[in-house]
Amino acid sequence: MIAVALWSVAVLLALAPAGIALSMRPRGSVVLYGACLVVTATLCVTALLHLLDPAHPVLSATLPVGLPWLGAHFRLDALSAFFLVVINLGGLAASLFALGYGRHEDSPGRVLPFYPAYLAAMNVVVLANDAFSFLVAWEFMSLTSWAMVVSHHREAENVRAGYVYLLMASFGTLALLLAFGLLASSAGYDFDAIRASHPSAALASMVAILALVGAGSKAGLVPLHAWLPLAHPAAPSHVSGLMSGVMTKVAVYGFVRIVFDLLPEPVWWWSIVVLLVGGPTATLGVLYALMQRDIKRVLAYSTIENIGIIFTGLGLALAFKAQGLDWVAALAFTAALLHVFNHALFKSLLFFGAGAVLEATGVRDMEKLGGLIHRMPKTAFAVLVGCVAISALPPFNGFVSEWLTFQAILLSPQLPSWGLKLIIPAVGGLLALAAALAAACFVKLYGISFLGRPRSDVAASAHETDRFSIAAMLALAALCLLAGVLPGLFIDALAPVSKTMVGNIMPHQAGLQWLTIVPIAESRSSYNGLLVFLFAAFCGTAAASAIHRLASDRLRRAPAWDCGYPDANPAIQYSASSFSQPIRRVFGSVIFAAREIGEMPEPLAAAPAKLTVAMRDLIWDALYAPIATVIGFVTERINLLQFLTIRSYLTLVFAALIVLLLVVAL
Amino acid sequence: MSSLQFDIAHLLAGSLVLASFMMLYQDRLYALLNVYALHAGVLALSVAWQAYVQQAPHLYVTALIALVFKAVIIPVALHRIIKRLGIHREIENVIGVGLTMMAGIGLVALSMVVMLRVTPGADALAREDLAFALSVVLLGLLIMVTRRNAVSQVVGFMSLENGLVLAATGAKGMPLVVEISVAFSVLIAFIVIGIFLFRIRERFDSVDVQALDRFRGERR
């Protein structure tokens, strides 16, 4: 099986140079994305078969590439199989979407060669079994995605996004490099040797923190998130979907692989760090998302929120594992992985929807959209499913994983440590707040973009997108519903992963009646997605038919509620900013230093009134701006060295030589 | 090796250092070139003596190259360049003879200390030879640093290269191919630098490198 996986990766790598040639052909993008579709489907099926294999074999392979004395080691175990499924399901959907969407690309030569290479790099990260291959693939993944972020390089904003992204990616890789360097000091680069070694608690703690920084900066944990909302929206939409839905999950994989697998038993305080980063990330991410007007940027910030939820789950797993409560750790860990899977589904779906809207109207600003549900009904339906799922409403999949996370939070009184007993409920509160705000955020996104009346001519003249894109979105929507209605299947599939990583599994769900899931015991809590779905479907259908049957069925078209204005202009609808104003007033004045400046004209003056909202990103101001200032100051000083005279350079060389000789002599 | 052979080798290498010192305080270009020719001549003698002592006939070729190229052709050519540039009357303000000589003495002391410390296992001739060679290299660098005229910087560079040749011949077994290629690279460097001197002169009416710096808008 691992041979199939590696050959598929090789085919993807071979497709990258082919992309250069194909980008010059008129239908080249269809050929390339079709090929990617086939390869990712193969990989996805292979990984799925491996994950569901009851024997759970661990396969490994060594290739004579990379460092000469090391070679490249690859390993396929339950964890990498699960992440391979996530990556290639996302890649499959993105390739299907791009069969239609990719034809509208203006400069395919800037995307096509990098797309298969990017997919290959993500697969190799998950398969790698030595630090060298891991880091090379990780960096390759960053670079190929960077190339696609700057593919529309004529917009200055994208170039800046690419610059910030490249800096932060290098920073993250540096942290991981240091982490592996510390591990390699005793055991070398091979993951098998690292697993067998016993690093001291202090060393393991440093590695864990470096892994959190390195993987967290790629995943978008606050405060290392600043690049994410710039870079993800700048790429073409199918790549945005991959970056947000899949690449952040590869970062989660990196964290899980290092902290749960390579390091020995966790130290108790690691979980506190992870929880204190994860909870605020969730809340801040969704608050940022609520303040945005750009659809793709809303989605990117919402990714930060979901990463926060996933890391909270992982932090809970660490906390319970360190205290010996394996069975709760298994619950939290499974919840986090299930959310990884779910988020990959609905975030890809939503980014594809945003891409379809962008392709149909040419704008990403919600204030210029509206009324798309009549013009793009199929897209609107798929995006609605995605919005409901990401808002964690039953019977869709987002609810299941967040509910499981809360089940683990509710078990925190069982912990012996008082610190954790106090911190975990507080994090739970943040998570609950994030879930509610996420619902508001997606009501806003859907309501402003798809409902109401068009706010611009481009929105009024929008048209439905092509059939491949719709197929991709509807398939993802169906998967969202499936994972929400039959969560037991997915939880059972994750059992081998949780067995190898935290040493225990959640109770078996398959034999329970009516496909109910029971995370702990039936007396405590249970959830049945199928019943909720059937009930909701039945009530909805019954109510709709009752209204149609009992009310007048004469079709009557009338102007929408117009607030008594004689001329119901689209501008008097809710706008994206006005919708989020109450939340901005509550949280914004502190977190974003938001100020509203109202300008009323003098009485009798015929000037429009103006309301300006000024917001700042305090994390940017407090963390990034000072660093940038210091680096700028230092480079300005060092820059003088570029403009010395020839004799000064000679003197410097001479002085350096003398100093070195003195060192030797004394 | 008899003690007479050792003493003569020592004497010649020491004379090379002495010639370097003489170059340090020459403030006229012609005088500098003459001392450089002397420098190269002493180098040729020294290499020839090494060839005799080590029974290595190929070192005679090296000595011949040093004599022909470095002691005759290059100084004569530089003479003509200086004449054509019309800068033979220029006097360079060297930092100050006393200070430069003190620095030079310090450098020689430093290279002695370094070499005697890092090569305790080598035979006596090689150790002394390497110490003198390092002194010549450092003094060549010092000449380059303290001069402002491009021609004298070139001369400083050439004397530095002489130090390298001395080091190479002191260590036994350096093949002739390397020697010849070094000689040729110096020759080519000389040609390139000569051409550049004329170009600089055309542009700035001077071969004072300060003119270059001013042209680049440098801060000093």
Produce one character per residue of A155-182: b if its CB has 16 or more CB atoms within 10 Å, e if not.
Answer: eeebeebbbbbbebbeebbebbbbbbee
Same domain for A325 and A469, yes or no, is: yes
Q: Give the pLDDT confidence score for residue B220 in this predicted structure.
A: 44
Count of CB atoms within 10 A of residue A115's CB? 31
In a domain, A605, yes or no: no
In a domain, A541, yes or no: no
Return the structure tokens found at B158.
């050439």
Long-range contacts, A255-259 (Cβ 8 Å, 24+): A255/A211, A255/A212, A255/A215, A255/A216, A255/A219, A255/A311, A255/A314, A256/A79, A256/A314, A256/A501, A257/A79, A258/A179, A258/A207, A258/A208, A258/A211, A258/A215, A259/A208, A259/A211, A259/A212, A259/A314, A259/A318
Q: How far apart are CA A606 and CA A316, in angstroms?
A: 60
Q: Which helix (H) or strand (E) covers residue A79, if one does?
A: helix A78-101
Q: Select from B113, B145, B212 the Cβ nearest to the Cβ of A650.
A: B145
Q: How far apart are CA B208 and CA B201, in angstroms?
A: 9
Whether B150 contacts chain A with CB within 8 A: no
Same domain for A483 and A625, yes or no, is: no
Same domain for A308 and A452, yes or no, is: yes
Q: How far apart are CA B167 and CA B127, in angstroms?
A: 10
First to last CA, chain B: 53
Q: Give the pLDDT confidence score for residue A508 in this predicted structure.
A: 83
Return the ∠ at Cα B78 (arms to B199 and A651), rounded to 5°: 70
Return the HEC string of A100-159: HHHHHCCCHHHCCCHHHHHHHHHHHHHHECEHHHHHHHHHHHHHHHHHHHCCCCCCHHHH
| Interchain contact, B118 vs A664, CB within 8 Å | yes
Q: How far apart are CA A646 and CA B131, in angstroms?
A: 28
Return the ∠ at Cα A559 (arms to A553 and A562), rounded to 5°: 130
Return the ∠ at Cα A392 (arms to A391 and A393), rounded to 5°: 95
Nearest to A59 by CA among A117, A1, A20: A1
Return the structure tokens found at B191.
């040609």
Q: Where are the alpha helices (DSSP H) in chain B?
A: 3-24, 29-54, 58-65, 74-85, 97-118, 124-146, 150-170, 176-204, 209-216
Nearest to B66 by CA among B141, B197, B164: B164
Whether B144 contacts chain A with CB within 8 A: yes
Residue A635 neighbours by CB under 8 Å, 6+ apart: none
* Chain B residues inside the 8 Å CB shell of A650: 141, 144-145
In this structure, what DSSP letter does residue A245 have? I
Of the residues A487, A504, A521, which one is the last residue of a structural domain? A504
**Is beta strand A610-614 parallel, antiparallel or unpaired with respect to A72-76?**
unpaired
| Interchain contact, A646 vs B142, CB within 8 Å | no
Return the HEC string of A30-41: HHHHHHHHHHHH
Distances (CA, A) of A312 to A221, A348, A493, A502: 11, 22, 22, 16
DSSP per position, A578-611? HHTHHHIIIIIHHHT--EEEEEPPPTT-----EE
Q: How far apart are CA A340 and CA A244, in angstroms?
A: 11
Residue A57 neighbours by CB under 8 Å, 6+ apart: A50
- Are the C-beta atoms of A324 and A484 separated by less than 8 Å? no
Residues B94-117 pLDDT 10s: 677 888 899 999 999 999 888 888
Q: Where are the alpha helices (DSSP H) in B119-175?
A: 124-146, 150-170
Return the structure tokens found at A420.
């954790």
In a domain, A323, yes or no: yes
| Interchain contact, B216 vs A650, CB within 8 Å | no
What residues of chain A, 635 to 664, have a C-beta less than 8 Å from chain B? 640, 643-647, 650-651, 653-654, 657-658, 661-662, 664
| Interchain contact, B114 vs A661, CB within 8 Å | yes
Q: Tally the C-alpha atoms within 13 A of residue B183's C-alpha that lie toward its C-beta.
A: 23
- Are the C-beta atoms of B145 and A651 separated by less than 8 Å? yes
Number of domain units in chain A: 2
* Chain B residues inside the 8 Å CB shell of A647: 145, 148, 209
In a domain, A250, yes or no: no
- Are the C-beta atoms of A65 and A71 separated by less than 8 Å? yes
> Which residue of chain A has the CA closest to B117?
A665
Which residues of chain A have a pLDDT value below 70? 553, 559-563, 565
Of the residues A504, A530, A550, which one is the last residue of a structural domain? A504
In a domain, A361, yes or no: yes
Return the structure tokens found at A60.
């490994």
The angle that helices A131-149 and A114-127 make with each other, rounded to 10 degrees, is 150
Return the HEC string of A144-168: HHHHHHCCCCCCHHHHHHHHHHHHH
> Which residue of chain B has the CA closest to A657?
B138
Residue B208 phi/psi, 5° resolution?
-70, 125
Same domain for A332 and A466, yes or no, is: yes
Residue B137 neighbours by CB under 8 Å, 6+ apart: B160, B163, B164, B167
In a domain, A500, yes or no: yes
Q: Which helix (H) or strand (E) covers residue A74, if one does?
A: strand A72-76
DSSP per position, A506-526? PPP-TTSGGG-B-SS-TTT--
Q: How far apart are CA A296 and CA A379, in angstroms?
A: 15
- Are the C-beta atoms of B154 and B190 separated by less than 8 Å? yes
> Which residue of chain A has the CA closest to B103?
A658
The angle that helices A646-665 and B124-146 make with each other, rounded to 10 degrees, is 150
Distances (CA, A) of A375 to A372, A459, A551: 5, 9, 27
Cα dihedral sign, B156-B162-B164-B170: negative
| Residue B107 burial (10 A CB sphere; 0-12, 13-18, 19+) | buried
In this structure, what DSSP letter does residue A612 have? E
| Interchain contact, B110 vs A644, CB within 8 Å | no
Whether B95 contacts chain A with CB within 8 A: no
In a domain, A457, yes or no: yes
Of the residues A456, A478, A504, which one is the last residue of a structural domain? A504
Place of tokens 């009557």: A556
Q: Which domain holds residue A643?
A: 618-665
Residues A75-94 pLDDT 10s: 999 999 999 999 999 999 99
> Which residue of chain B has the CA closest to A653?
B141
| Interchain contact, A650 vs B141, CB within 8 Å | yes
| Interchain contact, A647 vs B145, CB within 8 Å | yes
Q: How far apart are CA A176 and CA B103, in angstroms?
A: 49
- Are the C-beta atoms of A598 and A610 separated by less than 8 Å? yes
Nearest-10 Cα torsion for A280, A281, A286, A290: 90
Return the structure tokens found at A564.
């008594």
First to last CA, chain A: 62
In a domain, A9, yes or no: no
Q: How far apart are CA A662 and CA A640, in angstroms?
A: 27
Which residues of chain B have a pLDDT value below 50? 220
